[in-house]
Amino acid sequence: MKRALITGITGQDGLYLSELLLAKGYQVHGVIRGQNNPKLDLVRAVVPEVILHTGDLLDSFSLARALEAAQPTEIYNLGAISFVAYSWDNAHLTSQVTGHGVLNILEAVRLYAAGDKSVRFYQASSSEMFGKVQEVPQRETTLLWPRSPYGVAKVFGHYMTINYRESYGLHASSGILFNHESPRRGPEFVTRKVSQAVARIKLGQQDTLPMGNLDASRDWGFAGDYVEAMWRMLQQEQADDYVIATGVTHTIRDLLEVAFGVVGISDWESYVTQDPRFMRPAEVELLIGDASKARERLGWTPTVDFEGLVTMMVESDLAALSRRR
C-alpha cells in the first residue's frame, strides 16, 4: 500500500487531495497543528480514514516525527498562511510559515529519505508569484514579480524546492497553481465570499455586499481538478515545475454577474458597495495561465469551467443555508 503525508490537511486542497488518494488506495497521513484545532471535526467527518499527526511547519522536529511515523513515499506540502490580504498585516509570520516552512519540511524530507529515490515531494507554489505580470499568459519560465508578502514567501519556497532538487537530487516538484475554488473554499476568499452573500441575499438574510477591487482578473478553476494535477506530478519519472490553470480569465465583476445570475438577480450592482477595507496595498491585476506543459506531459486538463464552478458554489451555499432555516 502506498503511503502519503499531507501538510495543510484541514484546508480546501488537503481535503480534496485526501479523498483522491484514498480512492486510489493510498494510506493517507495528515499533519494537523494546534492543541485543539477547530477543523479537526471536519477532517474526521470528511475523511475519517486519514491518520493524523500533530505538527507545525514552524517546528522542524514535529515534521521529522510525522515523517518517521507515517513512512510516506509521497509528501504534499499544502500547509501555508494562504490569505494574501492577511499577509501585509502579518508579513513576518507569513514569511516564516509560507516561506521558511518549506525549507523546514524540505530538510526534514531530505534527512528522512536519506538518498532513497522513491521518496517524492510536492510544493504548493502559486500564481501569486507572477504578481505584476511580465508576460501574458504566464508560464513556467515567466519572470517572477511578487506583489505581496505572501507572494514573496511563495517565491522563496519555490526556489528552495528547485534548489533541493538540483543540490540533492530530491524528487521535488513545484505546482504553480492558479486560483482554484470549490464549496470548501474559505469564506475570506472572494469567490466564496460572493457565493455565500448571494445565497444570503436570495434568502433575505443580507442586504448588501461590500467589496474591494472589482477590476482584477483571475484564472479560476475547480480545486478537485487541481489536486489531480498534484498527484500526476509525483507520478512522473523526473521532478519538474508545472503551471496549472484553465487559460481563461474573468474579472471580479464577471464573478458577481454570474453568481447573482444563478439566483435570478440581474441588477447585481444595486447590492454591491465599494469598501476600502477590502482594497490591497498592491494588487495583482491580471492572471491567466498557460498550462500547455501540464497538458502535454501530465495529460492534465480542467473539467469544470468558470460558469460551472460559480454555479456549483452558489447552489451549495443556498442548499446549506436552506437546510439551516
| 174's grid cell | 513545484
Give the one residue of 82, 87, 95, 182 binding ligand GDR; rule: CB under 6 A. 82
| 13 part of the interface to ligand GDR, by CB under 6 A | no
| 200 part of the interface to ligand GDR, by CB under 6 A | no
Q: Which is nearer to ligand NDP, 12 or 148 (CB)?
A: 12
By a kind-dependent CB cut-off of 5 to 8 A, residue 280 interacts, out of ligand NDP, ligand GDR, none, with ligand GDR
Give the one residue of 7, 95, 126, 246 binding ligand GDR; rule: CB under 6 A. 126
Query: Rounded to an integer, what distance in angstroms lies between the CA atom of residue 55 and that of residue 258?
Result: 40
3-state helix, strand, coil in the chain (%, to 5): 45, 15, 35
Q: Where do contacts with ligand NDP occur on this chain (CB under 6 A)? A: 7-14, 33-34, 37, 39, 56-58, 78-82, 97, 124, 126, 177, 179-180, 186
In the set 26, 112, 122, 150, the catalytic residue is: 150
In the set 82, 87, 126, 148, the catalytic residue is: 126
Alpha-carbon distances of 78 from 34, 144, 164, 194, 269, rounded to whole Å:
16, 20, 17, 24, 36
User: How many residues in the chain?
Assistant: 325
H-assigned helices in 50-171 = 60-70, 84-89, 91-94, 101-113, 149-168
Q: Which is nearer to ligand GDR, 61 or 278 (CB)?
A: 278
Give the one residue of 47, 50, 63, 190 binding ligand GDR; rule: CB under 6 A. 190
| 10's grid cell | 484541514
Cα–Cα nearest to 56, from 84, 85, 35, 26:
35
Query: Rounded to an integer, what distance in angstroms lies between the CA atom of residue 139 and that of residue 296?
Result: 14
Query: Rounded to an integer, what distance in angstroms lies between the CA atom of residue 244 and that of residue 298?
Result: 11
CB nearest ligand NDP: which residue?
11
Told to judge if 168 belongs to the known catalytic residues of this protein, a careful annotator would answer no
Q: Which is nearer to ligand GDR, 64 or 199 (CB)?
A: 199
Told to judge if 150 belongs to the known catalytic residues of this protein, a careful annotator would answer yes
Interacting span for ligand GDR (CB under 6 A) from 89-97, 101-109, 183-191, 221-229: 183-191
By a kind-dependent CB cut-off of 5 to 8 A, residue 211 interacts, out of ligand NDP, ligand GDR, none, with ligand GDR
Interacting span for ligand GDR (CB under 6 A) from 15-23, 185-193, 289-297, 302-310: 185-193
Instruction: List Cβ neighbours of 57 (8 Å cut-off, separation of 6 or more).
Output: 7, 33, 63, 79, 80, 97, 101, 102, 104, 105
In the set 74, 128, 181, 228, the catalytic residue is: 128
| 189 part of the interface to ligand GDR, by CB under 6 A | yes
Alpha-carbon distances of 269 from 150, 209, 214, 256, rounded to whole Å:
31, 10, 11, 9
Say whether 121 sits in a helix, a strand or coil.
Answer: strand
Number of chain residues interacting with ligand GDR (CB under 6 A)? 22
Query: Rounded to an integer, what distance in angstroms lies between the CA atom of residue 273 and that of residue 293?
Result: 40
Q: Which is nearer to ligand GDR, 84 or 291 (CB)?
A: 84
Contact positions toward ligand GDR, by CB under 6 A? 82, 84-85, 126-128, 178-179, 188-190, 193, 211-213, 216, 218, 252, 278, 280, 283-284
Residues that are catalytic: 126, 128, 150
